[in-house]
Amino acid sequence: MKTHTFAGAAMLAALLASSPLHAQDRADTEAEEQDAPAIMRIPPPRNVIARRQIERIRELDDAGPELNAVIVYDQEAYRTMGRSMVKGPLLGRTVLVKDNIETREFPTTAGSLALANNYTGRDAPLIANLRNAGGVVLGKTNLSEWANIRDNASTSGWSAVGGLTRNPYAIDRNSCGSSSGSGAAVAAGFAWGAIGTETNGSITCPASINGIVGFKPSIGLVSRTHVVPISSTQDTAGPMTKTVRDAAMLLGAIAGTDTADPVTLTVPNRKQKYTDGLSEFSLEGVRIGVMRNQIGNREDVKTVFETALADLERAGAVLVDIEFEPDTAMYGDSFTVLMFELREEMGKYLRSLPEMEGQDTPRSLTDLIAFNAAHADKEMRWFGQDLFELAETTTDREVYETARANAVRIAGEETLDMLLAENTVQFLVAPTRGPAWTSDLVNGDNFNGSIGFGSPAAIAGYPHLTVPMGRVEALPVGISFFGAKWADHEVLKLGAAYERARTAELPGPTFERWKAE
Confirm if 468 and 206 have CB atoms less than 8 A apart: no
**DSSP H or E stretch at residue 97:** strand 94-98
- How many CA atoms does the CB half-sphere of 428 hold within 13 Å? 31
Eight-state DSSP code of residue 3 = -
- Rounded CA gap, 465 and 244, in Å? 9
Between CA 83 and CA 90, with CA 87 as vertex, the angle to 5 degrees is 120
- How many C-beta atoms lie closer than 10 Å to residue 355's C-beta? 8
- How many C-beta atoms lie closer than 10 Å to residue 442's C-beta? 8
What phi, psi does 413 have (nearest 5°)? -60, -45
Q: Is the dihedral of CA 43, 186, 203, 516 positive or negative?
A: negative
- Rounded CA gap, 134 and 128, in Å? 10
Angle between helices 46-57 and 20-32 (to 10 degrees): 140
* Catalytic residue ranges: 98, 178, 202
Q: Is the dihedral of CA 224, 225, 229, 234 positive or negative?
A: positive
**DSSP structure string for 36-94:** --GGG--PPPHHHHHHHHHHHHIIIIISTT----EEEE-TTHHHH-GGGGTSSTTTT-E
Alpha carbon 266 to chain centroid, angstroms:
23
* Residue 347 backbone class (left: φ over 0; alpha: ψ -120 to 50; beta: rest): alpha
Angle between helices 9-17 and 20-32 (to 10 degrees): 40
Say which residues have a Cβ less than 8 Å from residue 315's Cβ, sequence separation at least 6.
282, 283, 284, 497, 498, 500, 501
- Rounded CA gap, 147 and 159, in Å? 9
Confirm if 195 and 126 have CB atoms less than 8 A apart: yes
Three-state DSSP state, 201: coil
- Rounded CA gap, 306 and 312, in Å? 10
- Rounded CA gap, 197 and 216, in Å? 8
